[in-house]
Structure 1
Amino acid sequence: MNALLIDDSRLARTELRHLLQAFPDVTVVGEAKNAAEARAQIQALRPDLLFLDIQMPGGSGFDLLESLDVAPQVIFTTAYDEYALRAFEVSALDYLLKPVQENRLAAALEKARNQTAMPATPDEAAAPPLSAQDQVFVKDGERCWFVRLADIKLFEINGSYTQIYFEEHRPLIPRTLQHLETRLDPKVFFRANRQQIINLKWIDTIEPWFSNTLKIKLKQGPEVEVSRKQSVLFREMMSL
């Protein structure tokens, strides 16, 4: 695995680099001290894994992730424990408190290896695009459904799976949002943020939210906060 270290503290980066020497399958390909440097490094180096601090000058670790269309796997490294819940809401692999302990680092890297080792299934590799009127087979445990895509209001990351919202059902499927996005009609389905794809036909209300973002309420469904970047795209798409 190729790793990028993102932390405004040079000492913290040095300590983490030293700890990672105990794991020969991990190669540190670069370092960044703020979000702007990190974006450039991610684009240039295409790392598999980010070790990401949260509080940095010029933008937090969460701001960085929100600005990326597709993010590598993320392990947060921080001195503060109050962001743990939010970290897992953005699908972080783990949340390590400084000073990082080697046993916790080993456990986090094992999660990263398991994610990296998950192969794409043949139908994920070459699946054709779908229209909103297509019906898809959904299986979750012992339950099965045959549902029109037009009736699905929301796709949402849930751990290593994606949760589907239709009628009163919330099944989980072993697909990534990236894969689903390649198959769904972009005129109907919109990537609201890193965790959610919404069906535009199911929008009930839209309201301005913090930092020039939008909050969307789905009919008979949850509220979805649109990221800053996607809020700009949404306004451009929906404007005359």
Structure 2
Amino acid sequence: MKALIIDDEPLLRAELRRMLGAYPALEIVGEAADAESGLECIHRLRPDLLFLDVQMPEKSGLDLLAALETLPLVIFVTAHDRHAMRAFDFGATDYLLKPVNEARLRVAVMRAFAALDTGSGHSSDAAEPHSEEDGTIAADRASVEPLAEDQCVLLRDGDQTYFVPVKTIQSIEACGSYARVHLGDRRPLIPRSLNFLEQRLPAQLFFRVSRNAIVNIREVTKIEPWFSGGLRATLRNGSTFDLSRRQAKLFRDSMTL
């Protein structure tokens, strides 16, 4: 995959290039410091992927994309999350906040390779970074790329769009073929199954308490014995969820040293 870095900060470009050096299947074909030179590089180098800053002098990264007839994959890299809504209107592959975290960068890169694979049919195994810890990558990696708990997600509910940190999700309940996401006073309904969301959400933060619900374990404030060897979990917002004996055992096991 050919990638182009477009950012007005030289140090950021250098650091990003250094971190991306861990991915042998990702070739950095060029850099640009502003939208005008970035546009010229895109036409000349034909990259598959852009690492693009949103806010730059004179013209923004969004202005650059608006000038393109065909969009490559785009990972936005910026210090300002207020641009997220417009960024995702352009079909961004991912959105990284500065300073870039290597773990989050890996998630974004893997997502870009997966998006490219969808069109090419090639395997993305070569996208994995080379390191002494390669053997720790699970051989049976799920087809759904898990989110990191410090990652933000875009939730659309009718005409409303929410951009929220994963860790602020309190619970999720099944509503037919949809899922109701509880975010304090907001409860967007999204077209996702709980099975999909269980794979997508970070396992260290979310637990499937029943067929119909997933909870954020950091929101649990009280656990008490319930009928037939089960448990009742009470969340910070006062909502309660009943766990069967089987789920209660799994919950205890996951919470015990």
Instruction: Tell me the TM-score normalized by structure 1.
Output: 0.49
Q: Provide TM-score, normalisation by structure 2.
A: 0.46
